[in-house]
Amino acid sequence: REARVTGPLGDPVTAAYALRGSTAVVEMAEASGLQHLPDGVFAPLTATTYGSGELLLAALEAGATTIVFGVGGSATT
């Protein structure tokens, strides 16, 4: 599944998560990862993980009651 969420620099990004039954697998990097930054631009002190929360909410709204959340690869500290 996919959701439109806030990227690490505040721009909208499309992030994916998996849902099987009532279990979701969500990766922080999908919404807030380094791949969403322009080449050579790093902003660890100003980037946000707000979109990761939005992605978790999307999984809950889709019916997840259990969430496995991977936290590697974010653009923040």
Q: Which pLDDT value is given to residue 77?
A: 79
Taking the whole predicted model, whether its pTM rises above 0.85 is answered as yes
Low-confidence ranges of the chain (pLDDT < 70): none
Contact indicator for 26, 17 with CB cutoff of 8 Å: yes
The two tokens of residue 32 are: 């807030």
Q: Report domain extents, the chain.
A: 2-70
Q: Of the candidates 11, 15, 7, 8, which has an alpha carbon nearest to the alpha carbon of residue 56? A: 15
